[in-house]
Amino acid sequence: MGKIIGTAGHVDHGKTELIKALTGIDTDRLSEEKERGLTIDLGFAYIDLEKSGRIGIIDVPGHERFLKNMLAGVGGMDVVILVIAANESVMPQTKEHFQIMRLLGVKDVIIGISKIDTVDEETRFIVKEEVQDLIHNTPYEDSPIVEFSSVTGEGLSQITEVLDERVSKIRERGSKNQFTRLAIDRCFELKGIGTVITGTLLSGSIEEGEEIVILPPGHKTKARQIQEHNVRKNKVLAGERVAINLPGIEKRMVERGNIISKEGQLSQTDRLLVLIEPVKETGDIKDLTRVRIYLGSGEYLGRLELIGKRKVSSDKKFISFLVLEEKIIALRKDKFILRMYSPMKLLGGGLILDAFPKIKRRFSQDALKEVEKLIDASDGDTLLFYLHGSHLPGENLRKRMQLPPAEFKSICDILLKDGSIVILGDEIFSSNALEAIKKDIIERVDRFHKKNPLKKGLDKEGLRTALDIERNIFDLLLSSMVEIKVEKNYVKLSHFTPQFDEETSKRKKRILASLKKNPFKPDKLEEDDLIRNLVGEGEIVKIKENMYFHRDAVEQGEKLIREAIEKRGPLGVSEIKDLLKTTRKYIIPFLEYLDRIKFTVRKGDLRDLWEREI
């Protein structure tokens, strides 16, 4: 299950008749189609194959005027029957459809030569030769060619057999760990039921009752009832033809090309980086050429913004931006078809390399060289390309890769194993970038130590700002570095201790001794590197500008004040001054310091213990 057969070929060559002969279903459902005997829009049927089970069929119009509708259907096809009438042989739309299938990378093509009841042996021989010429030197060179007649029934069983064999060999599209993406091709209202859409589920799955969202408009609804080929289903999987009844949605709110997905899975974009394979007949393509884009079941307008040049020739592939006139859902690796805006000539096929590209100077040769790396890049290579030798939050990277979390993780795991990336918290670093940042940190800290031998280290926040790394990532980074030690709010080299020369050591001793001698009436001290070092080490405490207490004095003062207040209740300044045997000059700043650190609290003229307060 989950595979789709399609038709292709020139108008009137017998596509619709073939589907009718194989399935009994007339896919020409519009009254205008029946009247004119001409397929205008996509038609839908299904066939029961022995090995493959029930498979959806999309019948397309062959008339060039309705190529737009053909393009809306061809995107989801796995196997295409290219129908060529024996009485007319290869015609313009035969060639055009064939080219479109090739450009979109349709996996399998079966050539059906129809209407053999209308020609003689010799004509059949000639037509077969022309068909051989058509497929020669293309990926479909070995495609089976089956001659048949829908009128006599000759060859029909062979068509069914070949189809079954081809379809059964196609790999299932993944449904697990995939985003849900259903390309809507029809929307209609049914009496008593409401709005119903149909489309091909390109990836993921949908369950009955599940919340879904219609993109781009963003309408939220749920899958009230699901059918596949007129049979009610609880769950549908990738590759299946699906009809869904959508409550709360009106027909006018939905259009062909809209996508059904689940909230938060897919984001819209209006600028793509693409690789284009032009059809040779196009001739030179100029910058800003206006184009029609056929992606999924949608048609969109946009312009080519060339990279590295103002003009490209159509004889080889080229990379370009594709700037859309509206936001659309487009994914990396999606293939699409381009036509000229007017006249609507086929321009070529395209492949999305990046759905959220970031390039500024598009005419520089470097820009071109850079993006060329994305051609044939694996998912891992693409991730590294997006990282661009730097670091990014994992979630940003996952969104740009447009992958579901589980799949993104498995790509990261491979890159982690081979050492190309390192993950710190939620941040993904290219290993080179991380090494460079670490080296930079060590150099900066080392330079700082050399310049400031008395200082314990470099201010952490300053270093972080200079490197422009998010706070928690920076902490993780520092803690992963054995060369670096973080103490409080500064960073130092692990083996570094402040270097005191002999004179400074002596001064340190003198200062500490003097502060100890006069604990509550200390000598005035000017702030310098040594003082800052002593404060940093916690040996002395800054009370105010030029006033420092020995650590023991602060402790002793706190002890005395606590005991006194506990005994006598809140105290005034002069009582505390007497308690510490000091003067107003010292006691006022000291009490203000104690208020600041929430040891004491001021109540009018009195001081109470902060802890008693709460």
Contact of residue 147 among ligand GDP, Mg ion, none (CB under 5-8 Å per partner type): none
* Minimum CB distance to ligand GDP smaller for 17 or for 78: 17
| 67 within 8 A of 96, measured Cβ to Cβ | yes
Residue nearest to Mg ion (CB): 39
Does residue 39 bind ligand GDP (CB under 6 A)? yes
Question: Which 512-551 residues touch Mg ion, going by CB under 5 A?
Answer: none
Contacted by 14, from Mg ion, ligand GDP, none: CB < 5 to 8 Å by type: ligand GDP
Which residues 381-420 are close enough to bind ligand GDP by CB under 6 A? none
Of how many residues is the chain composed?
614
Binding to Mg ion by residue 382, rule CB under 5 A? no
Q: Where are the alpha helices (DSSP H) in 194-312?
A: none
User: Nearest distance from residue 93's CB to ligand GDP, in Å?
Assistant: 9
Please identify, using beta-carbon distances, which residue of 150 and 175 lies nearer to ligand GDP.
Answer: 150
Rounded Cα distance between 388 and 429, Å, is 10
**Taking Cα atoms as reference points, which of 52, 45, 48 lies closest to residue 60?**
45
User: Which sign, positive or negative, has the C-alpha torsion 311, 313, 316, 322?
Assistant: positive
Q: Does residue 150 belong to the site contacting Mg ion (CB under 5 A)?
A: no
E-state strands within 62-104: 79-85
Q: Does 14 bind ligand GDP (CB under 6 A)?
A: yes
Q: Which of these segments, 145-153, 159-167, 275-283, 479-487, binds ligand GDP (CB under 6 A)?
A: 145-153
| Residue 83 Cβ vs ligand GDP, minimum distance, rounded to whole Å | 6
Question: What gap in Å lies between CA 83 and CA 90, rounded to an integer?
Answer: 9
DSSP state of 597: T
Which residues does 300 contact at the CB level (< 8 Å), separation at least 6?
Answer: 257, 292, 293, 324, 325, 326, 328
Q: Choose the binding region for ligand GDP from 148-156, 306-314, 532-540, 600-608 (rule: CB under 6 A).
A: 148-156
Considering only residues 477-516, where is the footprint of Mg ion by CB under 5 A?
none
Under DSSP, the state recorded for 308 is: S
Token pair in block for residue 247: 């409550």
User: Is 90 or 469 the residue whose CB approaches ligand GDP more closely?
Assistant: 90
User: 314 is in the binding site of which of Mg ion, ligand GDP, none (Cβ under 5 to 8 A by kind)?
Assistant: none
CB nearer Mg ion, residue 28 or residue 164: 28
Only segment of 14-22, 316-324, 356-364, 380-388 that touches ligand GDP (CB under 6 A)? 14-22
Encoded tokens for 585: 């000059």
Q: Which two tokens stand for residue 570?
A: 């809140």
Instruction: Output the smallest distance, CB 7 to ligand GDP, in A.
Output: 7
Report DSSP letters for 275-300, one per residue: EEEE-GGG--EETT-EEEEEETTEEE
The residues in 114-143 that bind ligand GDP, with binding defined as CB under 6 A, are: 114-115, 117-118
The CA–CA distances, whole Å, from 128 to 12, 84, 157, 207, 255 equal: 19, 10, 20, 46, 41
Contact 424, 467 (CB under 8 A): no
| Part in contact with Mg ion (CB under 5 A); list of ranges 15-23, 243-251, 357-365, 453-461 | 15-23
From 147-155, 202-210, 330-338, 344-352, span contacting ligand GDP (CB under 6 A): 147-155
Contact positions with Mg ion (CB under 5 A) in 25-54: 39
271 with 357: CB under 8 angstroms?
yes
Residue with smaller CB distance to Mg ion, 42 or 237: 42
Number of H helices, E strands in the chain: 19, 35
| Axis crossing angle, helix 551-568 with helix 502-517, rounded to the nearest 10 | 20
Q: What angle do the packed helices 431-451 and 460-467 form, to 10 degrees?
A: 140
DSSP string, 385-424: HHHTTSEEEHHHHHHHHT--HHHHHHHHHHHHHTTSEEEE
How many residues touch ligand GDP under the rule CB under 6 A: the total is: 19
Residues 58-117 that bind ligand GDP (CB under 6 A): 62, 83, 114-115, 117
Exactly one of 4, 5, 11, 77 binds ligand GDP (CB under 6 A); that residue is 11
Q: Which residue in the set 93, 143, 150, 175 belongs to the binding site for ligand GDP (CB under 6 A)?
A: 150
Q: Which stretch binds ligand GDP (CB under 6 A): 9-17, 284-292, 543-551, 601-609?
A: 9-17
With contacts defined by CB under 6 A, name the span among 4-12, 67-75, 193-201, 362-370 that binds ligand GDP. Answer: 4-12
Of these partners, ligand GDP, Mg ion, none, which one is at the site of residue 550 (CB under 5 to 8 Å by kind)? none
d(CA 143, CA 140): 5
37 touching ligand GDP, by CB under 6 A: yes
114 interacts with, out of Mg ion, ligand GDP, none, CB within 5 to 8 A per kind:
ligand GDP
Among 40, 91, 151, 416, binds ligand GDP (CB under 6 A): 151
**155 versus 570: smaller Cβ distance to ligand GDP:** 155
Cα–Cα dist 70/8, whole Å: 8
* Shortest Cβ 42–ligand GDP spacing (Å): 12
Q: How far is the CB of 105 from ligand GDP (least distance, A)?
A: 24
SS3 331: coil
What's the CA gap between 14 and 185, in Å, rounded? 23
Q: Is residue 495 helix, strand or coil?
A: coil
What is the distance between the alpha carbons of residues 326 and 293, in angstroms, rounded to a whole number? 11
Binding-site partner at residue 217 among Mg ion, ligand GDP, none, CB < 5 to 8 Å by type: none
Q: Residue count at the site for Mg ion (CB under 5 A)? A: 3
d(CA 402, CA 332): 7
- CB-wise, 39 or 600, nearer to ligand GDP? 39
Q: State whether residue 212 is helix, strand or coil.
A: strand
**How far is it, in rounded angstroms, from Cα 18 to Cα 23?**
8
- Least separation in angstroms between CB 203 and ligand GDP: 30
User: Which residues contribute to the site for ligand GDP (CB under 6 A)?
Assistant: 9, 11-17, 37, 39, 62, 83, 114-115, 117-118, 149-151
User: Which residues contribute to the site for Mg ion (CB under 5 A)?
Assistant: 15-16, 39
